[in-house]
Amino acid sequence: MAEADPLDGRHARFELKTLLDTSRMLIESTDLDFVLNNLLLISMGKLFAPKAAILLRDPTDRKFRVAKNKGRTPFHEGQELPLPDPSTYGDTVYLDASHSEFPELLAGNGLPHLFQLRTRAQHMGFLVIGDKASKQPYSDREIEFLENLVNISAVAISNSLLVRELRQTNLQLDRKVQELHTLFDLSKEFNATVDRDPMLRVFKFALLGQMFIRSFLFVKKRRAEAPECLVHNGLKQLPDEAGMTYLLDLPDGHHHVGDRLRQESDLLAENGLQAVVTLSLQDERAILAVGPRATGDPYSESDFNFLSSLGNLALLSVQKTDLLRERIEKERIEEELSIARTIQERLLPNPLPKDDRLDLAAMNVSSRQVGGDYYDAVRRGDELYLAIADVTGKGIPASLLMANLQAMLHILTPLERGICEITGKINDVIYKNTPSDKFISFFWARFDSATGVFEYVNAGHNPPFLLRAGEDPIPLAEGGMLLGAMPTFVPYSSGTLHLGPGDLIALYTDGVSEAMDPADEEYGEERLLDVLMKNRVLSAADILNAVVEDVRRFTHDKYSDDITLLVIKHR
C-alpha cells in the first residue's frame, strides 16, 4: 500500500483553511461588490487564470448581465448576454464544441470554464473563467476547490442581494414616513417658526414628498419692489425678473400651461412647467408654478385647491417672518452701532496729552455711527507719538481694523526700536490678518520734547502740511507703501525735521480733501491750505475749528466720508 504524500496533505489543509477564511469573510459581508470582487480575485489567484467574469441573472426580466469582470475579457459591466436556461446543466461545465447553445462570446474568447452560482432556493448566475496562464489543465482538486468556493460565494451573493432588496424596501418606507413628517412639519413650522428658511424648507418638502412634484417655482412680489424667488427646484433655466413679472401678472386662479403660455413665457417652456397658481395676500402677490408629477398623474381640482392653500399659508408665514426679522434686525443693528460708537470714541485719546512745546487739537466726525478714521497721541517719557490713519471702507469692518491698529500702536511704542522698523512690523501683521481688499493709509511721528526733533513715517497717507513763516507749505511724504497692501519687502524710510516756534503741522484724512459739495466738486487741498494759512496765528483748537467749519459750509453738512483732523502747533 503506497504511503500518502505529506505534500498533498498540507495542500488539502491549506485549501480548507482558505475556504474557511473566505467563507467567514464573504458571509459576514453584505456588500455585493465586495463579494463579487473577492470571488474573482481568489479564483484567479488560486488557478493562475488571467481572466474571469461573473454573470448575474436579473429576477425581473430573467436576463443575464455582466456584474463584474477582470482581465482582458470582451465584456463590459452591465452588458446583457443571451444565455440558455441553466437548470439543465450541472454545477460545472467545460464549454467545448458540443455546447453550441452557449454563444461564442464565452468559449471563443478563452472563457471555457463555467460554474453555476446557485443556492437551494434560486439560481443567480455563473462564474466564467479562462484557462491557466501556463496552459495546463485544471486538476480535480482545483475544480473541487473552485466549486466549494462558488457554493460559499453563492450564499454570500444571495445574502447581499437580499440586503439590497431590504434597503430598497426601507427607502420606500422612509419616503412614506417622510410624507407623514412633512404634514406634521407643515402645521408646526408654519405656525411657530420665526425664520424664513426652515419654513420654506418644509414647504419645499411638502411639494416633493406629498405632491411628488420635482420641478417648481415659488415667487412673491411686494408692491413697489422687485419680484423675489422664494424657493425653486429642478429648473433648467433660473427665473429672471422679466419672466417672474410675466407670471405675476396672470389673472387670479390656476392656469394649465398650454401652447399660448409656453410661447409667451420662456420660463414656462424651458422648464416644462405645467400649471401656475396665482395668490394674493394684502399688498403682496405670488405665484406657484409646478412641473409634472413624478407619478404621471394629471393635476385635479383638488390638487389645485391644496396648492393654493399651501401657497397662501407659506406666503402668510413669509410675511410674518419678514416683518419680525426686519424689526429685530433694525433694533439689533442700532444697539450694536451705538455700543460700537461708544467703544470707538473711547479708543481716541481724550484728553490729548500735554506737552510744553506743542499745542495739540484733534477731531473725528464719522459719516456713519462708526468709521475707519483714527488719530492718536501717546506720551512715552520725553517722547510724544502722534498718528492719523484711514481704513478702507466704512462701518463696522473699518472700525474693527482701526481698533487693531490702535492696539498695535500702543503695544509697540514702548519698545526701543525706530519708528521705521515698527511700521514694518505693523504692516506685516495687518497683511497677514486682513482680506486683500482691506488696507490702511497711515502717518505717524515721534516728537522729542527735549530736542525738538520731529521724525515721521508716511505709509501711503495724504501728506500732512508743514507751515512755517515765510515759506511755502511742505508736504510730509517720506515713508513707504500703504499698510496691509503687501509684505514689507523694502523697509520704510523716515523724514526728520526740527520744529521751531510758530511751526504748524496739519494731519488730515481724505474725508477732508475729498469732501463734496452738492455740485459734486471736491473741497481739495488748496481750500484746506488757504484756511490753514489764514488762521495759522491762532491756537491749534481754533485752527481746527476753522477748518471743520469751512468744510461744513462747503458740503452743506452732508459728509460722504469720515473727517479727521489733528493740528500740531509749536508754542
b/e 259-275 (16+ beta carbons within 10 angstroms → b)? eebeeebebbeebebbb
Distance of alpha carbon 280 from alpha carbon 220, whole angstroms: 9
Count CA atoms within 13 Å of residue 514 on its CB side: 9
Show Cβ contacts of residue 566 under 8 Å, excluding neighbours closer than 6 positions: 360, 361, 362, 375, 377, 386, 388, 506, 507, 508
**pLDDT band, very low/low/confident/very high, at 65 (cuts 50, 70, 90):** confident
Write out pLDDT tens, residues 113-133.
888 888 877 888 888 888 888
Write out pLDDT tens, residues 217-255.
999 998 888 899 999 999 988 889 889 999 999 988 888
CB neighbour class for 470 (10 Å; exposed up to 12, middle 13-18, buried from 19): exposed
What string of DSSP letters covers 354-388?
A: P-SSEEEEEEEE-SSSS-SEEEEEEEETTEEEEEE
* Residue 384 grid cell: 510724544
Average pLDDT, the chain: 83
**pLDDT band, very low/low/confident/very high, at 139 (cuts 50, 70, 90):** confident
Domains 193-324 and 349-570 share a fold: no
Q: Would you kindly state where each structural domain of the chain is located, as residue ranges? A: 9-165, 193-324, 349-570
Residue 10 sits at φ, ψ, to 5 deg, of -65, -40
Q: What percent of the chain shows pLDDT beyond 90?
A: 29
Distance of alpha carbon 387 from alpha carbon 240, whole angstroms: 50
CB 386 within 8 A of CB 447: yes
Pick 541 or 75 by higher pLDDT. 541
Task: For the domain made up of 349-570, give the CATH fold.
Answer: Phosphatase 2c; domain 1 (3.60.40)
pLDDT of residue 2: 43
Q: What is the pTM of this model?
A: 0.49
pLDDT of residue 4: 44
Three-class HEC string of 448-477:
ECCCCEEEEEEEECCCCEEECCCCCCEECC
Q: What value does the mean pLDDT take over residues 165-188? A: 64
Q: 9-165 falls under which CATH superfamily?
A: GAF domain (3.30.450.40)
Of 525, 517, 494, give the one whose Cα is nearest residue 421.
494
Distance of alpha carbon 168 from alpha carbon 158, whole angstroms: 15
Q: Which of 207-216, 341-350, 438-447 has the lowest mean pLDDT?
A: 341-350
Greatest extent of the chain over all pairs of C-alpha atoms, in Å: 133
**pLDDT band, very low/low/confident/very high, at 333 (cuts 50, 70, 90):** confident
Q: Does domain 193-324 have CATH number 3.30.450.40?
A: yes
Q: What value does the mean pLDDT take over residues 533-539? A: 93
**pLDDT band, very low/low/confident/very high, at 346 (cuts 50, 70, 90):** confident
* Residue 366 grid cell: 464719522
